[in-house]
Structure 1
Amino acid sequence: MGELAAEAAEGSQEAEQDEQGRLAAALDAINSLISASFSASLFPLKWQLIRDRLNRLHGGLAGITVIAASDGHEAFEGLLRDVVDAVREARELVPRSQGRHYGGGKLRLRSDLDVVASTLDAHVGGLDDICASGSLTRARAIVVPRPCAGASREDVRFYVRDLFARLRVGGAEMRREAATALNEVLRDDEKCVRVVVSDVADGVSVLVGLLECQDACVQEEALDAVSVIAGFDAYKGDLVVGGVIAPVIRVLDTGAGPAVKERAARVLSKLTENADNAWAVAAHGGVTALVNVCSDHRASGGELVCAACRVLRSLVGVDEIRKYMVADAGLVPVLVSLLRGPADDAAQIQAMELLAAIASGDSSSREAVLQEGAVDSLVRALDPGIPRSSKAREVALRAIDAICFPSPEYSIDRLLGAVFLNRVLFFLRNGDSTLQHCALKSAHRLCHVSEETKKAMGDAGFMPELVGIVQAAKSLETREIAAEALCAMMSVHRNRKRFVQDERNVTQILQLLGPDEEKPSPAKRFLLSTLVHLTESSSGRRKIMSSEHVRNLEKLAETNVMDAKKIVKKLGGSRLKNMFHGIWSV
């Protein structure tokens, strides 16, 4: 009996070894075909599909512990034979796919490739069924340690390939751990990004497949991994060719949570920088998905809305897509609604910048923005009584500038009717340095719109504030802008009359003309032009002559500054002639 038992055990061991040998041969054949398939130039997408099936088979078979005496032995043996046969048949198609000879034509080749893909798909299902029956067991996985900092590319490649093997065939927990580990090394080492894209067979395809994984944790990690890769310009094309855009957009369209959708929007934001891949996003319904995110801003949350607006802003750079957004997707009313609602500050800032980008495209887009009441909403954002960050108010002023001033004849009435002047004046007086500068630029633009606008600004009290800015500002640019705006306002008679009523205004200008530099600065030249305007009235001339700082004009005239000499001529009078005899003779 003992001898019989020993012979049986020996026979079982030999059978198990034979089975392991057949398993190893099947794995070698699969690896060989995967490598050879990369030389195929015809029907690359079909070969990519075949490689995906081969990788899944390889990963599943590599983790099998064979037990020859198990109930599933015969089924498993048959599966191995079928896999080897299918791989052999597929291998014969590689030369035909290299463009050397078709062996029946392209239609026949395409049909043969479809048959191979279908056969391999069936074998993947058969392996899953055998494993699910419990007749085979998964081998205990060997955990490959993460390479240390500065490791060679070969060590990194070995580790990353092991992670992808786990992602392909591992159970839920193994996949989560592998996805997390992959993200860690991708963020820490650029070599890993190169390995995933260049050295792992269908590495991008595996990640693309995981984007639609039912396991939310794995899906999030896959989105993060793709986002890291998308951050490198050299690899964006590999992601797009690998089909990443469609599943990312589907994530935005599904019932996934805001955090997952935010990751998807971040991926699209990186892929569409400088309007790259804009058409691919639009072709897969990305515009509609992103507009829907902004439309449901209460449920989406601020971070997701911000990310969606950043993507849309990249797409706006393409004329046809911008026109579709405005005419068909209904983006403008969605953004205006977002400005009027309780959305957080950052989301509203993104909406303002997107509205400005849309309006900057063409006249029809600008008109659509105006018709939807965007100006009223932007001016409302400037209301000091409504809590807003200084950054939001700065962006609102810039957006108004972009929307209204390219065609002020159509939009200035909307601005003036929306108490815009009062808002600008308030921030000239009370804003921080950056906000005050934005308000000053708006005032400067307003001064060049029309005479009626200049009159309205004069009535509102802009002139003393502009003088004060010229006097107090440290920035040369700020002083110049304020001086130029003041000079423009002085071209209106009513403003000149109002200005000279306060002696301090004229005195401050003359004081600012002090000879503290050899050549007058641009700001000082605008102040001299302002005085030229004032000398057109007798009251203006009297105020200049009565100022204790009129001597500054003499000094400038002595240095042959033409506007100073022109002012002295206009002042005239025996008293000045005695003071400035000969200065104005040219």
Structure 2
Amino acid sequence: MNSKMGEEEKPKQQQHQNPTESFTAMKSSLRQAIEVISSLISLSHSIRVFTVKWQLIRKKLEELNSGLMALENCDSSENTAVFSGLIPSILVTVNECYDLARRCVDLSYSGKLLMQSDLDVLVAKFDRHVKNLSEIYTAGILTQGFAIVVSRPGPGACKDDMRFYTRDLLTRMKIGDIEMKRQALVNLHDVVGEDERYVKLVVEVGDVVNVLVGFLDSSEMEIQEEASKIVSLLSGFDLYKGVLVGAGIIGPLIRVLESGSDVGKEGAARCLQKLTVNSDNAWSVSAHGGVTALLKICSTGDCGGELIGPACGVLRNLVGVEEIKRFMVEEGAMSTFIKLARSREEIVQINSIEFLQNIASGDESVRQTLVREGGVRALVRVLDPKSATSSKTREVALRAIENLCFCSQNYINMLMIYGFIDQLYFFLRNGEVSVQELALKVTFRLCGTSDEAKKAMGDAGFMPELVKLLDAKSYEVREMATEALSSLVSLPKNRKRFVQDDRNIGFLLQLLDQEEGMSGNKKLLLSILMSLTSCNSGRRKIASSGYLKNVEKLAEAEVSDAKRLVRKLSTNRFRSMLSGFWHS
């Protein structure tokens, strides 16, 4: 490429050109300037000296390029005179820059101080060009009526076409009128939402992220709303969260929460929820007043679930920081979220319940506050089978109850008073698969808490439901059901209740004949049967069962638990009921 471009003497005939010829000449010079600037931007990446100054120059070149590309896309010859003096001046500066760039790449400059001075002069010149171009646009030259609409590239478009389209949108966002800015934002939201390749381009191309962050403080609500929706999409990509935070997005997002429209607040809250997933940005949110703003949104009854839901989510992410958690408790967050747990909107219920679980988990003083303000009762109410609560919400509530209440017998007693055991039984018997499996896990844990809980579960009818699960397809389900049943029949009253149904013992004995992979834990099954022998009717029914041979086979195979069971059944008046194989 020639280092001196665009410095040819203007033909004398140019002064006699008609408007059409002048417009064509201007367009040619404009294309030439864009090409040289694009080449310069690429060249600047290979410069290894004066890196800070070249980064600044590159930024100015990108701003200038965006403005010139916008002019190229302007379908009007009326403003040729306005730009006729500016473009040649830009070309002169660009060619000077190209000379300095080549000398920096080749390390052929005469002295560092002189080169630094030349680069400073160059930055000042580019500043003037950018300012002049911006003033021209501000005067209204580039409007929706004059701009050529660049078509969105098709699904199979190459990266260059996609980059060109993104740059065009950036230009419109930077120097277009309000309507052009808004439409450019709408188009950018569409492509980012539909094609992830544009996400990377948004980060790579010029100042797109900085422009979007700046728009969050726009006085034009439509601009603010569209920008908030785009940054919410971008924040969903872990790779680019740091880029957003580095661009200073936290403060503007909080200001949108404080004074933006509902749509803008929703986008801001969703963005913050994603940015605070690992609490790295918790202090930044707090420092900008975000905790107070979010608590206000959650405590205001006139906000919809689409806003309150993600606002709850942000606060849930922040409770991992002890100081922030304490502040929330002092500000009355517990009562606010207990009230939200009764919301009819799924997203609000789920996020508020998870908030309560997170803030009280591992902190007894906060847990006591939760109990004192009615949090446990609220969680149990969520499980009411008569309510219209979703299965997903019930799963979240079950996990929260298990996490918060199973650490204390007092809390378990409170659950029993509130009718939790009847609700747990209902979902173990009638719940959707995901809820039923979680109910089984909670049942398994509850069996190990106290004899009072075991008695209540036996009275409620848990044992027949657990028996049904002993031959489930899932090994985990079979194992938990077997262990839970083993725990329940350790109570004498439950043993008597269990053996009343003749089918129960026969079914347990049948399971012993199945392959290990298809049965529950045989050791536990034998343990249950051994426990049942302490009940007279249990011993009698086991000994008289036609499936007793399954125990005998295991005993012959030297299974110690089976041998003990046979020995127990062989004593006293039951000896005559057994086959004569046992002599040990």
Relative to the length of structure 1, the TM-score reads: 0.76
Residue 346 of structure 2 contacts residue 393 of structure 2 at CA under 8 Å; is this kept in 1?
yes
Change beyond 3 A, Cα 1:154–1:573: closer
The answer to whether residue 425 in structure 2 is matched with residue 422 in structure 1 is no
Please state whether the residue corresponding to 1:144 is helix, strand or coil. Answer: coil
Query: Among residues 290, 315, 319, which one is paired with 1:312 in the alignment?
Result: 315
Q: Who is 1:267 aligned against?
A: 271
Inter-partner Cα distance in structure 2 for 1:566 and 1:419: 40
Change beyond 3 A, Cα 1:326–1:456: farther
State the shift of 1:77 in Å.
11
Letter of the 1:386 counterpart: S
Residue 390 of structure 1 contacts residue 435 of structure 1 at CA under 8 Å; is this kept in 2?
yes
Residue 405 of structure 2 contacts residue 412 of structure 2 at CA under 8 Å; is this kept in 1?
yes
Please state whether the residue corresponding to 1:150 is helix, strand or coil. Answer: coil
Inter-partner Cα distance in structure 2 for 1:128 and 1:142: 15
User: Can you give the 5+ residue segments of structure 1 that lack an aligned partner in the other structure?
Assistant: 1-8, 95-100, 104-111
Q: Who is 2:555 aligned against?
A: 557
Change beyond 3 A, Cα 1:224–1:562: same
Residue 428 of structure 1 contacts residue 465 of structure 1 at CA under 8 Å; is this kept in 2?
yes
**1:152-551 equivalences in 2 (<5 Å):** 152-198=158-204, 200-257=205-262, 259-296=263-300, 298-316=301-319, 318-320=320-322, 323-324=325-326, 326-340=328-342, 342-405=343-406, 407-470=407-470, 473-500=472-499, 503-504=500-501, 507-514=503-510, 515-519=512-516, 521-551=519-549
Residue 55 of structure 1 contacts residue 168 of structure 1 at CA under 8 Å; is this kept in 2?
no
> Cα RMSD between the aligned structures?
4.9
State the shift of 1:521 in Å.
3.9
Relative to the length of structure 2, the TM-score reads: 0.76
State the shift of 1:448 in Å.
0.3
Residue 566 of structure 1 contacts residue 584 of structure 1 at CA under 8 Å; is this kept in 2?
no
- Of residues 276-285 and 178-187 in structure 1, the stretch that sits farther from structure 2 once superposed is 276-285
Change beyond 3 A, Cα 1:393–1:186: closer
State the shift of 1:482 in Å.
1.9
State the shift of 1:295 in Å.
2.2
Letter of the 2:186 counterpart: T
Inter-partner Cα distance in structure 2 for 1:44 and 1:333: 56
Residue 65 of structure 1 contacts residue 139 of structure 1 at CA under 8 Å; is this kept in 2?
no
Inter-partner Cα distance in structure 2 for 1:241 and 1:230: 12
State the shift of 1:566 in Å.
1.7
Residue 440 of structure 1 contacts residue 482 of structure 1 at CA under 8 Å; is this kept in 2?
yes
Inter-partner Cα distance in structure 2 for 1:379 and 1:358: 18
Change beyond 3 A, Cα 1:52–1:281: farther
Inter-partner Cα distance in structure 1 for 2:544 and 2:17: 123
Residue 79 of structure 1 contacts residue 127 of structure 1 at CA under 8 Å; is this kept in 2?
no
Residue 56 of structure 1 contacts residue 169 of structure 1 at CA under 8 Å; is this kept in 2?
no
- Of residues 415-424 and 523-532 in structure 1, the stretch that sits farther from structure 2 once superposed is 523-532
Please state whether the residue corresponding to 1:151 is helix, strand or coil. Answer: coil
Inter-partner Cα distance in structure 2 for 1:149 and 1:491: 65
Change beyond 3 A, Cα 1:151–1:433: closer
- Of residues 556-565 and 372-381 in structure 1, the stretch that sits farther from structure 2 once superposed is 556-565
Change beyond 3 A, Cα 1:120–1:456: farther
The answer to whether residue 148 in structure 2 is matched with residue 142 in structure 1 is yes
Q: Who is 2:564 aligned against?
A: 566
Inter-partner Cα distance in structure 2 for 1:321 and 1:120: 50
Inter-partner Cα distance in structure 2 for 1:272 and 1:323: 14
Inter-partner Cα distance in structure 1 for 2:378 and 2:159: 55
State the shift of 1:167 in Å.
1.0
Residue 319 of structure 1 contacts residue 361 of structure 1 at CA under 8 Å; is this kept in 2?
no
Show CA shifts across 1:87-137 (max 9, x none).
9xx99xx9xxxxxx999xxxxxxxx9xx999999997996578x37x9x99
Please state whether the residue corresponding to 2:302 is helix, strand or coil. Answer: helix
Residue 513 of structure 2 contacts residue 550 of structure 2 at CA under 8 Å; is this kept in 1?
no
Letter of the 2:267 counterpart: R
State the shift of 1:61 in Å.
8.3
Inter-partner Cα distance in structure 2 for 1:177 and 1:170: 10
Show CA shifts across 1:262-306 (max 9, x none).
22223223333444544433333333333333223x432222233
- The total of aligned residue pairs comes to 557
State the shift of 1:348 in Å.
1.0
State the shift of 1:41 in Å.
6.2
Change beyond 3 A, Cα 1:12–1:358: same
Q: Who is 1:3 aligned against?
A: none
State the shift of 1:36 in Å.
10
Show CA shifts across 1:346-388 (max 9, x none).
3212322332333335444444433432211111112223332
State the shift of 1:249 in Å.
2.5
Change beyond 3 A, Cα 1:493–1:121: same
Residue 507 of structure 1 contacts residue 544 of structure 1 at CA under 8 Å; is this kept in 2?
no
Show CA shifts across 1:166-188 (max 9, x none).
11111122222222222333334
Q: Who is 1:97 aligned against?
A: none
Please state whether the residue corresponding to 2:389 is helix, strand or coil. Answer: coil
Letter of the 1:428 counterpart: L
Residue 505 of structure 2 contacts residue 541 of structure 2 at CA under 8 Å; is this kept in 1?
no
Residue 64 of structure 1 contacts residue 138 of structure 1 at CA under 8 Å; is this kept in 2?
no
**1:12-23 equivalences in 2 (<5 Å):** none
Identity %: 44
User: Can you give the 5+ residue segments of structure 2 that lack an aligned partner in the other structure?
Assistant: 1-14, 102-110, 114-120
Please state whether the residue corresponding to 1:147 is helix, strand or coil. Answer: coil
State the shift of 1:83 in Å.
11
Please state whether the residue corresponding to 1:449 is helix, strand or coil. Answer: coil
Change beyond 3 A, Cα 1:312–1:116: farther
Inter-partner Cα distance in structure 2 for 1:188 and 1:455: 56
Inter-partner Cα distance in structure 1 for 2:416 and 2:87: 81
Residue 250 of structure 2 contacts residue 284 of structure 2 at CA under 8 Å; is this kept in 1?
yes
State the shift of 1:570 in Å.
2.0
Show CA shifts across 1:307-354 (max 9, x none).
2333334444x34366246434543322211123x4313321232233
Q: Who is 2:107 aligned against?
A: none
Please state whether the residue corresponding to 2:341 is helix, strand or coil. Answer: helix
Residue 309 of structure 1 contacts residue 351 of structure 1 at CA under 8 Å; is this kept in 2?
yes
